[in-house]
């Protein structure tokens, strides 16, 4: 029963870890590719604190964008760097008006950033295209408010950076789902040229950088910041995980849940092993007396029971690995889906196999089982031989 308890506990934490691993990967890809954050976002120093008050001052000018791109493109780990401009204003169909928030992007560059993740962001209608100059992608919730379908026309309005009111005609090229209810009724993605036109500027508020390896994000962040500074640009750079609040919050929650689960499993393992070995010592008292009479020293008796405890942990982990594999195979075969909180569409429930983590958990549980057996083992070793031999 103790071996079964350890097996189930091991499988539980390994499966949950595998689920977390897949979820983090999904969230990571969603942030980098889906949200279009790429790996790094470069702002002018002071943009995040004072950009709202004086946006013109804290945007990159065309010359600064050119310098920035030169520095970035000279780094072999940079796959793509592209300027973007976030805007906001009012959108109307002539009868109904509502607010919008839009990302002004270069369509071909967004295609590169999204990569194969594009398949997870299906579009009803057409995507942004450099040939369709006024075509925009509108979130489904916003389109519903405005009663818009692909091919319909609308007007966006906003003050320019100089404070003059401006309006532009747009065509709804396609509709998409942002994936979260909070943004589905506001968001658009528009060509950078339209965003700049509306704001009457040639500037960009950020430069987004796609790297060849996510693991290099932190290292390259420092290198690029230094290079830009040497080129005369004071910048602040944020990595994708710093910008994706959703990723950070979900990760923090899952890490906490995992810790809680791990502590519970460890407690169960310790209590099970102590109980099992304690019972074993009582039941095998006469055997202990015999071994001592035959010449086994106290330390050896203690080691015997401690090793038995460790072996219980070992077998528990071996069966736990088998159970983990079995459940993993079943999940991959069934391919279940679920709708996470705040999402508007189902996502696959997948579990990764994380061998390194499983190895660590096995080591911890085996060592724990061994140490948990020490207390009963010492009791076994300390028994009086005469009393042990006479035990009934």
Partner 1 sequence: MALVKTIGIRKDYRLGKAIVHALRGVNMQIDPGEFVAVWGPSGSGKTTLLNLIGAIDEPTEGEVFLNGRKLNALSDNERTEVRNRSIGFIFQNFNLIPVLSALENVMVPLQISGESYSRAKKTAGSRLEEVGLSRFIHHRPDKLSGGQSQRVAIARALIGTPLLVIADEPTANLDSETSEKIITLMREINQKGKTTFIFSTHDRRLLKHCNRLIEISDGRISEKGQS
Find the Cα–Cα–Cα–Cα dihedral 36, 41, 42, 47, rounded to 10°. Answer: 90
Closer residue to partner 1 (CB): 140 or 378: 378
- Closest distance of CB 302 from partner 1, Å: 13
Assess 354 for contact with partner 1 (CB under 8 A): no
Beta strands 347-348 and 123-125, pairing class: unpaired
- Under rule CB under 8 A, residue 279 binds partner 1: no
Tokens 């002004």 appear where? 104
Nearer Cβ to partner 1 (54/384): 384
Answer for which of 128, 142, 211, 291 binds partner 1 (CB under 8 A) is 291
In the set 184, 292, 312, 362, which binds partner 1 (CB under 8 A)? Answer: 292
Question: Which CB, 108 or 283, lies closer to partner 1?
Answer: 283
**Binding of partner 1 at residue 304 (CB under 8 A)?**
no
Q: Which residue lies nearer to partner 1 by CB, 290 or 352?
A: 290
290 or 344, CB closer to partner 1? 290
CB 269 within 8 A of CB 361: no
Name the segment binding partner 1 (CB under 8 A); options: 228-236, 272-280, 295-303, 323-331.
295-303
> Which one, 223 or 386, has the nearer CB to partner 1?
386
Q: Which of the ranges 5-13, 148-156, 227-235, 291-299 carries the binding residues for partner 1, by CB under 8 A?
A: 291-299
CB of 293 or CB of 322, closer to partner 1 = 293
Q: Among 42-50, 79-87, 242-250, 290-298, which window interacts with partner 1 (CB under 8 A)? A: 290-298
In angstroms, the CA 389 to CA 392 distance is 9
Per-residue contact flags (x/-) with partner 1 for residues 371 to 390, judged by CB under 8 A:
--------------xx--x-
Q: Indicate which single residue of 50, 66, 297, 332 sits in contact with partner 1 (rule: CB under 8 A).
A: 297
Nearer to partner 1, 111 or 298 (CB): 298
Given 99, 264, 279, 293, the residue binding partner 1 (CB under 8 A): 293
Work out which of 286, 329, 359, 360 binds partner 1, going by CB under 8 A: 286
Residue from the set 132, 298, 378, 379 that interacts with partner 1 by CB under 8 A: 298
* Cβ distance to partner 1 smaller for residue 119 or 392: 392
CA distance 35 to 246: 11
Of the pair 119, 294, the CB lying nearest partner 1 is at: 294
Size of the site for partner 1 (CB under 8 A): 16
Is the dihedral angle over the CA atoms 217, 223, 228, 229 positive or is it negative? Answer: positive
Near partner 1 by CB under 8 A, which window of 64-72, 113-121, 208-216, 288-296? 288-296
As a whole number of angstroms, the distance between CA 303 and CA 376 comes to 11
289 touches partner 1 (CB under 8 A): yes
Using alpha carbons, select from 184, 183, 209, 181 the residue that is nearest to residue 84. 209
Q: How far is CA 74 from CA 112, 216, 230, 268, in A?
A: 19, 16, 14, 55
Tell me: does residue 287 bind partner 1 (CB under 8 A). yes
Residue 311 in contact with partner 1, rule: CB under 8 A: no
Q: Which of 182, 257, 300, 330 binds partner 1 (CB under 8 A)?
A: 300
* CA 323 to chain centroid: 26
| Positions in the binding site for partner 1 (CB under 8 A) | 286-287, 289-298, 300, 385-386, 389
């Amino acid at each position: 029963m103790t071996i079964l308890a350890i097996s189930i506990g091991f499988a539980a934490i390994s499966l949950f870890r595998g689920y977390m691993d897949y979820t983090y990967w999904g969230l990571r890809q969603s942030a980098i590719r889906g949200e279009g954050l790429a790996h790094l976002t470069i702002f002018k120093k002071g943009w995040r604190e004072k950009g709202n008050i004086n946006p013109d001052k804290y945007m990159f000018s065309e010359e600064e964008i050119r310098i920035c791109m030169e520095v970035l493109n000279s780094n072999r780990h940079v796959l793509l760097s592209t300027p973007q401009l976030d805007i906001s204003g009012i959108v109307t169909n002539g009868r109904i008006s509502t607010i919008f928030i839009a990302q002004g992007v270069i369509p071909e560059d967004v295609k590169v950033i999204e990569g194969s993740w594009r398949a997870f962001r299906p579009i009803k209608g057409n995507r942004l295209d450099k040939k369709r100059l006024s075509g925009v992608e509108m979130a489904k919730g916003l389109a519903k408010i405005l009663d818009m379908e692909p091919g319909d026309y609308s007007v966006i309005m906003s003050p320019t950076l100089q404070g003059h009111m401006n309006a532009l005609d747009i065509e709804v090229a396609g509709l998409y789902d942002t994936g979260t209810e909070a943004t589905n009724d506001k968001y658009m993605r528009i060509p950078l040229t339209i965003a700049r036109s509306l704001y009457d500027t040639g500037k960009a508020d950020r430069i987004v950088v796609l790297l060849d390896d996510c693991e290099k994000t932190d290292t390259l962040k420092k290198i690029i910041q230094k290079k830009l500074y040497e080129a005369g640009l004071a910048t602040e750079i944020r990595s994708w995980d710093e910008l994706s609040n959703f990723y950070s919050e979900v990760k923090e929650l899952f890490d906490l849940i995992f810790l809680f689960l791990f502590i519970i499993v460890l407690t169960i393992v310790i209590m099970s092993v102590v109980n099992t070995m304690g019972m074993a010592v009582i039941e095998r008292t006469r055997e202990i007396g015999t071994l001592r009479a035959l010449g086994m020293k106290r330390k050896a008796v203690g080691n015997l029971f401690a090793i038995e405890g460790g072996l219980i942990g070992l077998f528990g982990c071996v069966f736990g690995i088998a159970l983990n594999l079995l459940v993993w195979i079943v999940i991959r075969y069934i391919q279940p889906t679920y709708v996470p909180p705040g999402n508007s569409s189902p996502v696959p429930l997948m579990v990764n196999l994380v061998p390194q983590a499983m190895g660590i958990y096995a080591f911890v549980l085996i060592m724990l089982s061994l140490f948990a057996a020490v207390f009963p083992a010492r009791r076994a070793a300390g028994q009086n031989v005469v009393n042990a031999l006479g035990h009934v």
